[in-house]
Chain A
Amino acid sequence: MLRPGSYKGKLIVVEGIDGSGKSTQIDLLYKWLQSQGKSVYFTEWNSSDLVKSTTRLGKQEKMFTPTTFSLLQATDFSDRWENYMLPMLRAGVIVLADRYAFTAFARDVARGVDPVWVRNLYSFATQPDLTLYFQVPLDIAVERITGARAKIKYYEAGMDLGLSDNKVTSFRLFQQRIINEYENMVPEFGLTLMDGTLPILDLQKRMRTIVKKALHGWVGLSNPLAPVRRPAAKHQATAVKEVEEGEKA
C-alpha cells in the first residue's frame, strides 16, 4: 500500500495496458465532472515539460536502459506531483490521473527492475481514493492498438528487451508481462476492476456510478466558473441517462 493522503481533495486514477480504453473513459469522466460544476484537474503520465526533451532524446536515440527509463519517469511524476497534483489535492480539487505509480510498478518490473526498489521510488505518492483498473484480453488490446494507431512505438512494444524482432510479437509478450504485474497489484493496492470489453457508454455509466459513490457526501473546492449546463455537456448527460433508463426497463 502507498501512504494515505492528508488533503481535502480526491485522487482518482485509471490504470491498464495500452488499448484498454482507460484514456477514453477518464476523458468522459473529466467532462462529466466539469459539467457537474466540480473543480477537476487532469494529468497524464509522462507529461512534465521538465523532462520532455530528455525523454525525446532517449527514445529517438534508443538510449534508455530499464533503470534510466524508470528513473526518468519517476522524475516526471515527482515534478507533476509537487507542482500540480499535491497542491491541487490540498486545495480540495478532484485530481484525475491517466496512469499513476502503478504504471511504473507494472511496466518497470516487466522490464526487469526490482519491484521493491521501484516501490520505494514512488513512496512519496499517496494511495488514491479510487484506482480503476481496466482489464482487457490481450487480443482486444492488440486489435485496438494496431487498428487505430499508425504504428506501435519501440518502447511501447518493449523492443528494448529483445523479446522478439517482430514488433507485434514483442508487444504481445511485453504487454502480457505487464498484465501479470497489474493482476498481482489488484489485492496489493486494492484496485477496482473495470471490464474494458464493455461498450464505451455502458462502461462510462458504471464508472460514473462508482465515482458518485466515492464522492458521496464530500464537498470539495467550489468552482466559480461552473457551467450553467451548457448544451454540449447536456448531450453527453442525456445519452448516459438513456442507458440508465434502458437498463432499468
Chain B
Amino acid sequence: MKEIQYYGAGFPYRPLNEVPGKLIVLEGTDGVGRSTQVQMLRQWLEEEGYAVSDTGLRRGQLCGPGLDAAKQGHTLGPRTLSLFYATDFSDRLENQILPALKAGFIVLSDRYFYSIIARDVVRGADPLWARNVYGFALVPNLTLYLRADVPTLISRIVHGRGFNYWEAGMDIRCADNLYDSFCVYQSKLIEQFDRMASEYNFVTIDATHSVQSINDDLCRNIRALFAREKV
C-alpha cells in the first residue's frame, strides 16, 4: 500500500493514510470512446478476479438531480456551474470513491476533475483558480488519456449518438451551427488536455485506432501499474 496523495489539502477532517484499492482514471474528450473502454476494462478486471467500481461525472446522489435541472436553460455562469460540478465531484469522491478504495476495489473513473477544468477554462475560468478548487482531490494511481483528433471524433459522433448542444459547446457559441461549433470547441478541449497531460502525468493513449487495439493498450498499462505496485 502506498500513502494517499492529494493535490492540495485533501480532506483535513478525514485523515486517511493509505488504502488498498487503486484509482484508475480514463480521460479524453467527448466521443473518444471512454465509456465503451470502461465497460471492457471492467469485464476484463473482474475476470481477472478484481473487484471493480465504476463512477462517472454527474452521477452523484447529492447533486445529480440539481445539476440536470440547472442545465435545463438556467442562466448559469461558468464559475457557478464549475462550483456545482466540484460539489458533485467531492460528493462522489468522499462517498463512493474513497470507501471503495478503502475496501480494496479497483475504481475506474470515467473522467475526473481534469475534464471539468478543461471545460471551465475553455469557458473563461481562471486556470489557477480552477486547479486550486480541486485541492481536495486524490491523485489517481493511473490516468489514461484517450487522445483522438477532431476528424476521428466526428466520425465516432456521426456513427454514434449524433451531435448535441453541450458537446458542441453551443452554450458559448463557438460557431453559428452545431457542426462547426463542435469542431472549434473540441479542438479547444484537446488543447487543454494536452496541456494537462504533462502537468498531471497522463499516460497518452492513441485513440484513433480500433476499439480492440485501444483496449489492449489500456490493459498493458494497467498490468504495468499492478506489477509496479504489486497488486
Binding site for B on A (CB under 8 A): 50-51, 53-54, 57-58, 63-68, 71-72, 74-75, 78-79, 82-83, 111-114, 116-117, 120-121, 123-124
Closest residue to B133 on the A side, CB-wise?
Answer: A121
| CB-based contact A50/B70 at 8 Å | yes
Chain A residues with Cβ under 8 A from B65's Cβ?
A: 53-54, 57
- B75, B84, B129 pick with most chain A CB within 10 angstroms: B84
Going nearest first, the 6 A-B pairs with the smallest beta carbon separation are: A112-B13, A114-B9, A54-B66, A71-B87, A75-B83, A82-B77
Contact A71 B83, beta carbon cutoff 8 Å: yes
Task: For B80, give its contact among A79, A111, A113, A120 (CB under 8 Å).
Answer: A79
**Can you list 6 A-B contacts with CB-CB less than 8 angstroms, sorted by A residue number?**
A65-B90, A68-B90, A71-B83, A71-B86, A71-B87, A121-B83
Chain A residue at minimal CB-CB distance from B92: A68
B94 part of interface (Cβ distance < 8 Å): yes
Assembled-state Cα–Cα distance A112/B8 (Å): 14
Chain A residues with CB under 8 Å of B132's CB are 117, 120
Alpha-carbon distance between A66 and B93 when the two chains are bound, in angstroms: 13
Whether B94 pairs with A68 at a CB distance below 8 angstroms is yes
Q: Which residues of B contact A54 (CB under 8 A)?
A: 62-63, 65-66, 87
Do residues A74 and B83 form an inter-chain contact, with CB atoms below 8 A? yes
| Binding site secondary structure of chain A | helix
Q: Which residue of A has the minimal Cβ distance to B79?
A: A78
Q: Which of A66, A68, A121 contacts B62 (CB 8 A)?
A: A68
- Whether B77 and A79, one on each chain, are in contact in the complex, defined by CB atoms closer than 8 angstroms, is yes
Give A212 to B183 CA distance when docked, in angstroms.
55
Q: Which residue of A lies closest to B8 (CB)?
A: A117
B91 interfacial by beta-carbon distance below 8 Å: yes
B11 on interface, CB distance cutoff 8 Å: yes
Decide: B83 and A78 in contact? CB cutoff 8 A: yes
The yes or no answer to B162 lying at the interface (CB within 8 A) is: no
A205 to B65, CA, bound (A): 46
How many residues of chain B get a CB closer than 8 Å to chain A's CBs?
32
Shortest Cβ distance from B13 into A: residue: A112
Report the bound CA distance from A124 to B120 in whole Å.
15
Chain A neighbourhood of B83, CB < 8 A: 71, 74-75, 78, 121
Question: How far in angstroms is the closest Cβ of chain B from A91?
Answer: 17
Look across to chain B and name the residue whose beta carbon is closest to the beta carbon of A65.
B94
Cα separation A124 to B82 with both chains bound (whole Å)? 13
Partner of A78, one of B8, B63, B77, B135: B77
Asked if B159 is an interface residue, CB under 8 A from chain A, the answer is no
Docked-complex contact B84 and A75, CB < 8 angstroms: yes
> Complex: how many Å from CA A7 to CA B225?
53
- A112 and B12 CA atoms in complex are apart in Å by 6
Chain A residues near B79 (CB-CB < 8 A): 78, 82, 124
| Most interface-central of A57, A66, A75 (chain B CB within 10 A) | A75
Q: Is the CB of A53 within 8 A of B91?
A: no
User: Quick one: CB contact mask for B53-75 with A, threshold 8 Å, 1 for yes?
Assistant: 00000000111011001100011
Question: CB distance A72 to B129 under 8 Å?
Answer: no
| Any A CB within 8 A of the CB of B136 | yes
Chain A's nearest CB lies how many Å from the CB of B78?
Answer: 9
The listed residue with most B CB atoms (<10 A of its CB), out of A50, A53, A121, is A50
Given contact pairs A65-B90, A78-B79, A123 touches B129 in the complex (Cβ within 8 A)? yes
User: CB < 8 Å: which of B74, B84, B90, B129 contacts A124?
Assistant: B129
* CA–CA, A71 and B76, complex, Å: 16
A67 touches B8 (CB 8 A): no
Nearest B residue to A86, CB-CB: B77
- Contact between B11 and A67, CB atoms less than 8 A apart: yes
Contact A111 B91 (CB under 8 A): no
**Interface assignment of B95: CB less than 8 Å from any CB of chain A:** yes
Residues of the A chain whose Cβ atoms lie less than 8 Å from the Cβ of B8:
114, 117
Given contacts A68-B87, A68-B91, A114-B8, contact A82 B13 (CB under 8 A): no
Which of A65, A116, A117 makes the CB contact (< 8 A) with B91? A65
B8, B14, B69, B80 — which one has the most chain A CB atoms within 10 A of its CB? B80
Residue of A nearest to B131 (CB): A120
Beta-carbon nearest neighbor of A111 in chain B: B13
Q: Are B80 and A114 interface neighbours, CB within 8 A?
A: no
- Whether A51 pairs with B136 at a CB distance below 8 angstroms is no
Shortest Cβ gap from B137 to chain A (Å): 10
Chain B residues whose C-beta falls within 8 Å of the C-beta of A120 in the assembled complex: 129, 132-133, 135
